[in-house]
Amino acid sequence: PLPFHELCARIHGRIAVFLDAEDVSDRVKSVQEQTRVSLNVIDQALEQYSLPELSLAYNGGKDCLVLLILYLCALHDRGLTRTDNPSSNIDTAVQCVYIQDAHPFAEVEAFVAQSIKTYSLALLEYAKPMKAAFADYLRDTPSVKAILVGTRRTDPHGEHLKHFDPTDSGWPKFVRVHPVIDWHYVDIWTFIRYLNIPYCTLYDLGYTSLGGTTDTQPNPALARQSSSQQVPQLDAANGAVNGTSKPKFRPAYELVDDYEERLGRDR
């Protein structure tokens, strides 16, 4: 992989080109606007907290992937990726916390492992319920005061969140930072595809929201009509069946409606 400062410089350069692009669709224009807002929120966090005080909740999903890319861009912008900057510490530049699902997808695990290498993440992993995991994380990393989270407005519990919120009572105490709170589902995919950012392979198989293997299926809204007019089977394996090779589900980026994102999830 590229050296960290080089990687961040390239990401910064690509985002600058993206932000400067003119003659773009209204959809891209609104993602440019959201990107500026998010970078500003991350910059406020970097103004308020030192790097050892900041962490990012990363589970390999599309939303925290966008958040991570914006964070790396913002680190470059503040000169925090240079080894000659006394306030930067490459070892803790990108502190992350990952809480493994009880039944993780191998593809998600592989993508998180790849992300650690590509983006030089200092990632700690826990396999327990979220509250307990964050209690352990704060005990293991007591410098952390604020955690960047990729929650969006249309997620469960996302409706009333602000850019900065202390955790709710009953949760371990830290500040949640929500830079991408007002991004829509389609904005996330527009950004990822415009900037050509590698993402977890499950999204190309029609998964739009990633949980564990026991509660997550490809999104039925992305099922292709089968040629024999049969109703597509939700649990059917993707890919080749009897020599026919058309995948049964369209990729995640073809969905547009925020409220259809979780149709492949139980409950």
- Would you tell me which residues interact with ligand FAD (CB under 6 A)? 57-59, 61, 63-64, 97-99, 130, 147, 149-151, 155-157, 167-168, 171, 176
- Name the maximum alpha-carbon separation found in the chain: 65
Q: How far is the CB of 233 from ligand FAD (least distance, A)?
A: 25
Question: Is residue 261 at the binding interface for Mg ion, with CB under 5 A as the rule?
Answer: no
Across the strands, what pairs with 166? 175
Q: Which amino acid is at 160?
A: H
Asked if 148 and 69 touch (Cβ cutoff 8 Å), the reply is no
Q: How far is the CB of 59 from ligand FAD (least distance, A)?
A: 4
249 binds, among ligand FAD, Mg ion, none (CB under 5 to 8 A by kind): none
Of 51 and 147, which CB lies nearer to Mg ion in the complex structure? 147
Of 57 and 192, which CB lies nearer to ligand FAD in the complex structure? 57
Question: Tokens 């600058």 belong to which residue?
Answer: 16
Q: How far is the CB of 65 from ligand FAD (least distance, A)?
A: 8
C-beta nearest to ligand FAD: residue: 150
Asked if 254 and 222 touch (Cβ cutoff 8 Å), the reply is yes
Q: How far is the CB of 130 from Mg ion (least distance, A)?
A: 10
Selected binder of Mg ion within 63, 99, 175, 200 (CB under 5 A): 63
Q: Order across the sheet with 122-126: list the strands.
A: 122-126, 95-99, 54-57, 146-148, 175-177, 164-166
CB within 8 A of 248, min separation 6: which ones? Answer: 206, 218, 223, 224, 226, 232, 233, 236, 237, 238, 239, 241
58 binds, among ligand FAD, Mg ion, none (CB under 5 to 8 A by kind): ligand FAD
Contact residues: Mg ion, CB under 5 A: 63
